Structure 1
Amino acid sequence: MGPIALFDKSFLQSLSLDESVWFDQFFIPNISPLFYVETLADLDKEMSRGRTADQVVGNIAEKSPQLSGAPNVHHSELLLANLLGQPVSMSNRPIVAGGRPVESGGKRGVNIDISPEAKAFNRWQDGEYLQIEREFARAWRAHIKSLSFESSSDYAQKLGIDISQCKNMDDAFAAASQMVSISSKPYDLIAFIVKTIGIPPEYQREFVHRYQVSGFPPLNRYAPYAAHVIKVEVFFHICVSRGFISADRPSNKIDIAYLHYLPFCNIFISGDRLHRSTASLFLGKDQRFVWGPDLKTDLKRLNDHYLTLPQETKDRGVISFASKPPTEGGFLTAELWDMMSTSWRKKSENLAPLSSEANDKLLQHIKGFTDAPTLPSDQMPDPTEELDSLSIQRSIRRKRGSWYQVPKDLKNG
């Protein structure tokens, strides 16, 4: 299995359709909600270079991951849950919503149906758009244009940060890190969280009460994921105040929000200069920022490599003949796989294919879970216990670009 890859819209937009197939095949995409929102916003753009907005969005939708990965839960939902006492795993893995607890044959599992985002992208690939999506796009673009950062210096001052001492982004990161690791001004920090992040009024009292009862510990101890988000926000406000990040480009506020999802990936891929200058500050030692143009070049090399295969091999589908990247050729993709483990480079012994009887038994086992009714609330499995089964439904196109993703002769079912 390849690394879990968070990516921004600029990266996917830069890929050819064939290159996007290999990105989907060799990585496990963590699809940030911001990617969907940015893509949806393109619906309201004026015609550019002879293409309609629908064509632009449809092109991005066609490149969106299908074989692997999943949409991550929105950071605001995770932050709120964390502030209200719920743990949020920050183990470089996506946090996916929509799981349906089920039981089959005395064993318990979770089914994750096709996400609403994936269903929307399927429609967009066919040129179908809902009016509510168009209206949302217009509102979103208006919101971006209205963003301003005039209060950034005021926020920093209230939090006890002397921004005049911040000479560069490293200093801004150090100041933001200190802010969430001390508890000298808890009420000013609460005000910043409420106003900047946007805590719904109905939850503000509960959050303040819980934090107060806990004794106002440093935020990174009370709610680690919330602390990560706040650190990004404080860093951003300092950088805008000091001129390290431009206040004249409102979309910077959207771009910086991608950093909220860094705890849920192994690598972050972007062709955005703001991401290139900031992401590495927030990544752990076991994570890596990947410059989008570099990976695009590598995916093109991979595409050229596989195009030389015999047609009968290509007709088997990429999931059959390219389960891992080439071990020779110095591919960046292979280097990124090495981040996880180098064991994939070992030659695997040829395994005998499943017998027809064994295959039917496996399919029956899977169908038992996917068709099982949702468990009632009083029978929900303990979230700390390991499950017997996890199934994720996907909508996969047989062919994208030059490639069959699944065997050419695979029957629809």
Structure 2
Amino acid sequence: MQRLKKDEARWLTHFFRCNITPVYMQEVLGDLAASPKRGSPESMVAALAARTSALGSMPNVEHLELISMEVQGNPVEMRGVPVVGGGQRITDATGKAGVFFDESPEDRALRRWKEGGFNEQERRHATGHRKRARSVDLEAFVRATKAIQPKGTKLAETLQDVLAAVDALIDNEATQFRTLNLALEHFDQPLHIRTHVKKRWVAYGRQPIRRFLPYTHHCLRVSTLFYMGVGLSVIPQRPTNVIDMQYLFYLPFCMVFTSADKLHHDMAPLFTNATRLYSPCDELQAGLRTLADHYDAHGDELKVQGSARFARYPPLELDTVIHRLYDQTMPTWRKLAAEAPLEITPELNARLMEQMRPMREAMERARRQREG
């Protein structure tokens, strides 16, 4: 978000819905304790908050909360969309049911930061965020690895080698109880929860943890790869890498993951598949630049029709990484883009608004109840 130009960010948020991860929010706020080359920390955070709040994005539930949900028997959907909290079930006057999401705490915070409003607790958090990043003793993992590594040998040369070793360790059929214990301890689950989970695991036939707790397994895989990679000196001992690694916990809730960070560039492709893609930031930015220039050249048509109509899909006459990402994640989009858009007449618009009225009223009631 920091490197994108304003018009590039506009088309990013037009063609993609972005996932606001908790670690991103912490990093934005952490910039309050930074020393920018130009301007003040407050102005830097305000600018970044303004750009983020314009995303039309969805804040994801924090990974530790999701792990806690899963180990207690509540499945975590990993289908490439954000897991959003705070939903409230509502029923309108016609009996139609829905789920209402009011403005999230993250959205409220971003709106306040955009206007330069930071409370004392947030300022303390910003300072503590940077201290916490440096509190993990990464050198300890190197020492521990050297202690078990035969002299004159190296257990792994690449991250792919390390991941193979990680998978052999945590997916070993004979040691799944050990893997379950490792996951519960690593992610700080309370003792009474650990006991309950182990009983449930036995009752479900001692399934592989990959199948029994798929999201917890994903996070354990990411975390173990990182710390083992540090121990083997395949991953540098940069303190901020501890924070950067946490973004990868949210890969299951994205169709496309993009970053300019080297750690992400090295690790993210190892966790991709046919529906979860990695796109380096430079490539994505080049595609956004091409789109921005294209729409600049069609400014009059944009003004007349609006971007929602004129730019429903990436322009078929161009070929960018964004087109290729659409091809892989939404294979039917080109056919839809070639069809004429539905003509929204005043009559049709009025009919649609009337159909939506009972649900809008139910949402308003829910909002008043929550505020009251």
> Given the two structures, how large is their TM-score scaled by the length of structure 2?
0.88
2:88 paired with 1:100? yes
Over 3 Å counting, the alpha-carbon distance change for 1:349 and 1:32 in structure 2 is: same
Match of 1:182 among 147, 156, 172: 172
Give the drift of 1:371: 2.2
Report if the CA contact (8 A) 2:143-2:231 is conserved.
no
Structure 1: 5+ residue stretches without partners = 1-11, 377-413
State the shift of 1:363 in Å.
4.2
Which residues in structure 2 correspond to 1:355-394 (within 5 Å)? 355=347, 357-373=350-366
Per-residue deviation, 1:68: 3.4
Counterpart in the other structure of 2:38: 50
Q: Which residues in structure 2 correspond to 1:232-247 (within 5 Å)?
A: 232-247=222-237
**Could you say if the C-alpha distance between residues 108 and 168 of structure 1 is closer, same or farther in structure 2, counting changes exceeding 3 Å?**
same
Q: Distance in 2 between matches of 1:216 and 1:240?
A: 31
Give the one of 23, 26, 30 matched to 2:15: 26
User: Which deviations, in whole Å up to 9, do the C-alpha atoms of 1:1-21 show, x marking residues without a partner?
Assistant: xxxxxxxxxxx1111122111
Deviates more, 1:65-74 or 1:93-102: 65-74
Identity %: 29
Superposed CA offset, 1:277-322 (max 9, x none): 1111111222221010111122122112111224473376433432
Cα distance in structure 2, aligned partners of 1:238 and 1:45: 30
Q: C-alpha displacement at 1:348, in angstroms?
A: 1.5
Describe the shift of the 1:150–1:67 C-alpha distance in structure 2 as closer, same or farther (beyond 3 A): closer
Partner of 1:61: 49
SS of equivalent residue, structure 1 residue 289: strand
Correspondent of 2:133 among 144, 156, 178: 144
CA distance in 2 between counterparts of 1:344 and 1:37 reads 35
Structure richer in helix, relative to its length: 2
Matched, 1:112 2:105: no
Q: Is the 8 A contact 2:141 2:230 kept in 1?
A: yes
2:122 maps to 133
Q: Which runs of 5+ in 2 are unaligned?
A: none
Q: Is the 8 A contact 2:274 2:328 kept in 1?
A: no
> In the alignment, what sits opposite 1:352?
343
CA distance in 2, matches of 1:312, 1:232: 46
**Shift in CA distance, 371/112, structure 1 to aligned 2, threshold 3 Å:** same
Contact 2:46/2:113 (CA < 8 Å) preserved in 1?
Answer: yes
Post-superposition Cα deviations, 1:185-204, rounded to whole Å, max 9, x if no partner, equal 45643553344322245533
Q: What amino acid is the match of 1:149?
A: L
Confirm or deny: 8 A CA contact 2:53 2:111 kept in the other structure: no
User: Which range moves more in the overlay, 320-329 or 35-44?
Assistant: 320-329
One-letter amino acid of the counterpart of residue 333, structure 1: I
Q: Deviations over 1:304-362 (max 9, x none)?
A: 21112244733764334322111112222122111123432232134332415414413
User: Residues 50 and 365 (structure 1 numbering): CA distance in 2 closer, same or farther, change over 3 Å?
Assistant: same
Aligned partner letter, 1:76: L
One-letter identity of the residue aligned with 1:142: K
Does the residue aligned with 2:279 lie in a helix, a strand or coil? strand
Structure-2 residue corresponding to 1:328 = 317
Query: Does residue 1:288 correspond to 2:277, yes or no?
Result: yes
Is 1:156–1:234's contact at 8 Å kept on the other side of the alignment?
no
For 2:2 and 2:210, locate their aligned partners in 1 and report how far apart those are by CA, in whole Å: 35
Cα distance in 2, alignment partners of residues 157 and 94 from structure 1: 39
Alpha-carbon distance in 2 for matches of 1:156, 1:200:
28
Partner SS for 2:2: helix
Q: Does 1:219 align with 2:209?
A: yes
**Equivalences for 1:269-284 in 2 at 5 Å?**
269-284=258-273
Q: Alignment partner for residue 231 of structure 1, among 221, 244, 253?
A: 221
CA distance in 2, matches of 1:182, 1:49: 50
**Structure with larger RCO (C-alpha < 8 A, sep 6+):** 1
Q: Which residue of 2 aligns with 1:196?
A: 186
Question: Is 1:83 aligned with 2:76?
Answer: no
Q: Following the alignment from structure 1 to structure 2, what is the Cα–Cα distance between the partners of residues 195 and 290?
A: 33
SS in structure 2 at match of 1:109? strand
Given the two structures, how large is their TM-score scaled by the length of structure 1? 0.79
Q: Matches of 2:122 and 2:257 in 1, distance apart?
A: 28
Check 1:34–1:42 CA distance in 2 against 1; reply closer, same or farther (3 A cut).
same
RMSD of aligned C-alpha atoms?
2.8
Q: Distance in 1 between matches of 2:363 and 2:245?
A: 38
Report the CA distance between 1:272 and its aligned residue. Answer: 0.8
Deviations 1:43-76 (A, max 9, x none): 1113x21221111111211221535331111111
Q: How many Å separate the matches in 2 of 1:215 and 1:80? A: 21
Residues matched between the structures, number: 361
Distance 2:145 2:211 in 1: 21
CA distance change for structure 1 residues 350 and 77 in 2, over 3 Å: closer, same or farther? closer
**Counterpart-to-counterpart distance in 2, 1:186 and 1:292:** 38
- Residue 320 to residue 65, structure 1, CA distance change in 2 (3 Å): farther
SS of residue in 1 equivalent to 2:187: helix
Matches within 5 A, 1:244-283: 244-247=234-237, 249-283=238-272
Q: Distance in 2 between matches of 1:17 and 1:310?
A: 16
Helix, strand or coil at the partner of 1:268: strand
Aligned to 1:404: none
